[in-house]
Structure 1
Amino acid sequence: MRNLMCILVTAVATAICFAMTVVVAIITLNPGATVWVARRLWGPILIWMGGAKVVVTGQENVDPNRATIYVSNHQSSLDIPIHFVTVPVNFRYVAKHQLKYVPLVGWYLWFAGHIFVNRGKRDKAIASLDAAAQKIRGGTSVFLYPEGTRSDDGRVLPFKKGPFALALKSRVPVVPITIEGSGTVMPKNSWNIKPGPVYVKIGKPIDTTGFAEDDREGLAKAVRDVIIAQSLELGGKGGDPERVVAAAGIEGEGRQARRNAS
């Protein structure tokens, strides 16, 4: 019964909040203002309905006045509303282009100016990252899940290099974030809700200016090492520190990273 109620409440809350985003955008003439609806209304409702008891640390590392790239591991669909709530800045998600076609959620992401990436087509992926870089240079923060998919067992998966190419192109700080427990509350590809604690730890910003312009793997390793360490601190499974970068075109699988000689 609880799972059915979660589905119904999620659907109704999403529909109502989407309608509210349209109203907010019309009143403010600013689609970006609709992020407030997700942070203050939609996210808290879904967290409450899922029974997640969220504990967040490190919010002092979030600077709403500084364009930043936020990077997190990914365990559950619940991560999205949790990060809207726990990262107190009006960021934009960089999401798979497939989400664009999901009713209401995809419409909201498009309407609010979030960024879609088509990883299957290199030219479109590059164009999407260029669009993200333009937003960042304009002062907008973005949020990414560099694993490219949710982890099946809670371990931190290898990372895609695209987010770190974006960071090096934009030359803004990268803030590593670790989430632990959301995959237990709402497992991947399941509505089998099990209320429980979810921990979010926001790490210190990593300065990208100390990395060469083409050292995507070096930056990925630096960020991933922090996320793995934080996962272990939170009681999670961590991840293989040697499997840094995901093989091209494959999500969740990796190869041993080759650090640039520079």
Structure 2
Amino acid sequence: MSRFAWALFNALQLLFTLLWTAAWIALALLVRLLTGGRHWPLRMASRCWAPGLLRGAGARLEVHGLERVDWSRPHVIVANHQSMIDVCALFRAVPVPLRFVLKQELAKVPFVGWYARAMGMVFIERASARSSARRLRAAVEVVRGGASVCAFPEGTRSRGRVGPFKGGAFQLAIEAGVAVVPVAIEGSGRVLPAAGFRVRPGRIVVRIGEPLSSQGLVPHERSALAGQAREAVVALLAEGAAQ
């Protein structure tokens, strides 16, 4: 396609993304208000919102390794992060409602922040140790209540090599007493790169690894668990590259 055609395609993609997201958020908030629960609004994200954006981007999603996890139990899911479309891929790939760990700044974004707060997403605030401790305690209660939480422990979108994993999500797993599920996402950065809004049709592969136990660990061992999880994600990516 010519440069002009791609520019027009991406402009339409952006418009579709904004309108589609706003519509489903509005509907999810209405369902949350009417039912008083979060299950169905979160299911709407995985069964309606995320598939619509993936199809609109021309992304073909493949999921491997679902059978490795007992999804009746809560987990802390950690994944590498190449693109904003990773959220759609994980919502669609994981067969249980997900709550994501998000930066505090997103709470102030119209629609997205309203939805995240209403759905019980976990916010982190790195600048305040007191606030971070309070939010960690709240996140532990969310997981102990049966919810699975998903985090991108690199802290930012990577370009190529998987970055170091920060320890917050792993401390959450240790204190909640749940296993960590490593997940490798491949191809999302080619569909929607980290910089700008340049959509290109392609394949996104989600590989789910064996859960890593946090039993018997104490919070100061979170770095070791983070390193173990990163190694598992890197191995899953290498597995995909070898096929």
Shorter-normalised TM-score: what interval? over 0.9
TM-score after normalising by structure 2: 0.92
Answer 1 or 2: which has greater helix percent: 2
Quick one: which amino acid aligns to residue 123 of structure 1?
R
- 1:106 paired to 2:82: no
Measured after TM superposition, the shift of residue 32 of structure 1 is: 4.1
Distance (Å, rounded) in 2 between the aligned partners of 1:192 and 1:41: 23
Measured after TM superposition, the shift of residue 212 of structure 1 is: 4.2
Of 152, 155, 159, the residue aligned with 1:148 is: 155
Aligned length: 235
Larger RCO, structure (CA 8 Å, separation 6 or more): 2
Distance (Å, rounded) in 1 between the aligned partners of 2:70 and 2:31: 24
- Is the CA contact (8 Å cut-off) linking 2:166 and 2:223 kept in structure 1? no
Task: Let me know the Cα RMSD of the aligned residues.
Answer: 1.4
Q: Structure 2: where are the runs of 5+ without partners? A: 1-7
Q: Deviations over 1:179-205 (max 9, x none)?
A: 011011100121111111111100111
Task: Identify the range of structure 1 (16-25 vs 227-236) with the bigger mean alpha-carbon deviation.
Answer: 227-236
- Is the CA contact (8 Å cut-off) linking 1:32 and 1:113 kept in structure 2? no
Q: In the alignment, what sits opposite 2:59?
A: 52
Quick one: which amino acid aligns to residue 198 of structure 1?
I
Q: In the alignment, what sits opposite 1:195?
A: 201
Q: Structure 1: where are the runs of 5+ without partners? A: 237-262
Task: Identify the range of structure 1 (221-230 vs 61-70) with the bigger mean alpha-carbon deviation.
Answer: 61-70
Measured after TM superposition, the shift of residue 210 of structure 1 is: 4.7
Q: In the alignment, what sits opposite 2:70?
A: 63
Q: In the alignment, what sits opposite 1:258?
A: none
Distance (Å, rounded) in 1 between the aligned partners of 2:180 and 2:187: 23
Following superposition of structure 1 onto structure 2, how do residues 40-189 of structure 1 map, counting pairs within 5 Å? 40-151=47-158, 153-189=159-195
Q: In the alignment, what sits opposite 1:2?
A: 9
Distance (Å, rounded) in 2 between the aligned partners of 1:12 and 1:181: 25
Q: In the alignment, what sits opposite 1:35?
A: 42
- 1:235 paired to 2:241: yes
Describe the SS at the equivalent of 1:95.
strand
Distance (Å, rounded) in 2 between the aligned partners of 1:32 and 1:160: 29
Q: In the alignment, what sits opposite 2:28?
A: 21
TM-score after normalising by structure 1: 0.86
Runs of 4+ off more than 6 Å: none
Between the aligned residues of both structures, percent identity stands at: 39
Measured after TM superposition, the shift of residue 63 of structure 1 is: 2.9
